[in-house]
Amino acid sequence: MAKMIFGGVEENVVTREEFPLSKALDVLKDETIAVIGYGVQGPGQAMNLRDNGFNVIVGQRKNSKTWDKAVADGWVPGETLFDIEEACQKGTIIQYLLSDAAQIAVWPTIKQYLTPGKTLYFSHGFAVTYSDRTGIVPPKDIDVILVAPKGSGTSLRRLFLEGRGLNSSYAIYQDATGKAFEKVVALGIGVGSGYLFETTFKKEVYSDLSGERGTLMGAIQGIFAAQYQVLRENGHTPSEAFNETVEELTQSLMPLVAENGMDWMYANCSTTAQRGALDWWRPFKDATLPVFQKLYAEVACGNETQRSIDTNSKDDYREKLEAELKELRESEMWQAGATVRSLRPERNK
């Protein structure tokens, strides 16, 4: 584990150079990794581990769409694909990658297979941090660890196939065996992390819930919608409004920011854009800071968690979710976006 400076602050980081795949394979050579859940994170993590040479099986509910997806991805029923209970029985490391709501529902089943010395792995601190609401309290005689890739399971898999990596946080909640650190780092390398940075279960879930509702998805959609509306109200066409609001940002500018930083972006744009961006970023910060502060407070006190549990556990959740997504999908802005995407050069080769 190396000490690295981020913005003047020293943090613990593990890289592939100091903990190579060969070492990760040696650490876990006697382990059977049971990936429980094949929805969002499950496929990417399971296939990356398999391709990296680890002993992996998948546990999923039979006669479901995700069971069929696992079969299509090469998992063989009775050999590497089992129902959840059998996979938990066979696994020495249980990667608990069901949705937060499903983790609560299935926990009584999972818990009975967490025998002494096993490892329980999460990719989200939700269940353990809010145990008073989820009822998920791991036994004291097992290791409890976390690897949280900073992106979707789709991105994790895509970057792995490109020979790259997606940065992940790691945390240790319980170290019953004295080997939790080596296990968590080995698993982090195995699932395809670019590098691993240290956190806690609580900090992971606080930052994750804030980020999802903030700049990663919630805030960015709100900003997109506001700018698009103003442009349309002032006579700009849907194509112009979408290109200026979304397409230029996602296709041109953000890749450059990712490569070089925002200061480089400011230094390498026109002087007109440069001046305007420098003058206007602070008013946007001042306008949104109270919203982010309120958001973080709602996460920290558990209100966001309870809202998620209550909503996501309802029988009609999927139906209501589809209605909300339909509203987005059929909005003029994202209808314009669909047309813009269809006209990208790579679609027409």
DSSP 246: I
Contact assessment for residue 62 and residue 75, using Cβ atoms and an 8 Å cutoff: no
As given in the structure block, the two tokens for residue 44 are 């990417």
What are the structure tokens assigned to 166, written together?
């997606």
The set of residues, in sequence order, having a beta carbon less than 8 Å from that of 336 and lying 6+ positions away, is 238, 239, 241, 242
Query: Environment class of residue 44 by beta-carbon count within 10 Å: exposed (0-12), middle (13-18) or buried (19+)?
Result: buried
CA distance 146 to 187: 9
Residue 231 has phi, psi (to 5 degrees) of -65, -45
CA distances (Å), origin 28, targets 17, 31, 44: 18, 5, 19
> How far is it, in rounded angstroms, from Cα 109 to Cα 119?
16
Q: Which one from 124, 157, 183, 213 is the annotated catalytic residue?
A: 124
SS3 labels along 196-211: EEECCHHHHHHHHHHH
CB atoms within 10 A of CB 119: 25
Catalytic status, residue 236: no
- Report which of 190, 153, 185 is spatially closest to residue 169, judged by C-alpha positions: 185
Residue ranges with strand state E in 135-190: 143-149, 168-174
DSSP 62-89: SSSHHHHHHHHTT--BTTTEE-HHHHHH
Q: At 15, is the secondary structure helix, strand, or coil? A: strand
Please report the sign of the dihedral spanned by the C-alpha atoms of residue 282, residue 283, residue 286, residue 291. negative
Catalytic sites, residue numbers: 124
